[in-house]
Amino acid sequence: MSDNMIVVDDKAGVVRLTISRPKALNALNSAVFTELASVLSDLETRHDLRAVLITGAGEKAFVAGADIAEMRDMTPEQARAFAGQALQTLKRLEVLPVPVVALVNGFCLGGGCEIALACDWAVASDNAIFGQPEVSLGIIPGFGATQRLPRRVGPAMALDLATTGRKIDAAEALRIGLVNRVMPRDALDAYAEELTTQLSGNGPVAVRSAKRAVHDGLDQDLDSALALETSLFALCFAGEEPGEGMGAFMAKRKPRF
């Protein structure tokens, strides 16, 4: 049994990261963020990386939140440093050049929901529970939810969740756009395998370019964003992927990227 708090499984460049503190419901502390940052440092250098999937160990939780035992006696300065470490680490996860997908099982609360928000999309088991309950502890979300949540579900729903602290089930998370799909818990692994096959079968430069176009374009006006898309579209033709992909289509075979 590995003692690592971030367990890494690599299949054809699709890397699955499992946050592994199941006895603590995978609660986030400084050590978890330090280890995750180290793993991300390795992934950032990999040219063969196709996608990153992130999940939590055990049957009960994706991540049930930040570690309250560590936070309870923090001074304002210590809280700022802890939030800064978390924000920097999740930003590195968010800006990886490949798709980053959260596979959410069970509780996805507080910092857990903030990890899911830093991913490109999330898929949930039908027993998943989401929420930003920080206000019930006398604090607010500190790992990005006050900014990423309104960008994902709209400001009114974000304020609903962040100020009431209420929890929502997977069906409501799907309805408001917090997750893309909901499925039985035992189907998450099959989905991960399916996604691995899909992403491994697509042009890696094309996939990275699609992510860059969406992410970078959101911060620009429409005309500038469309110009970015045109540039990235054109740059695809500087490589070998279009020839292989379109040649395979004409030959009625699967492409070999």
Q: Which residues are catalytic?
A: 114, 134
- Ordered DSSP codes for 181-216: EEE-GGGHHHHHHHHHHHHHTS-HHHHHHHHHHHHH
Q: How are strands ordered across the β-sheet holding 61-63?
A: 61-63, 107-109, 129-131, 167-169
Q: What is the DSSP letter of 120?
A: S
Burial annotation 135-160 (CB, 10 A radius, 16+ → b, else e): eeeeeebbbbbbebbbebbeeebbee
Number of residues written out for the chain: 257
Q: Which residues does residue 123 pair with via DSSP β-bridges, in sequence order?
A: 103, 181
Q: What is the DSSP letter of 239?
A: S
Q: Which residues does residue 15 pair with via DSSP β-bridges, in sequence order?
A: 10, 52
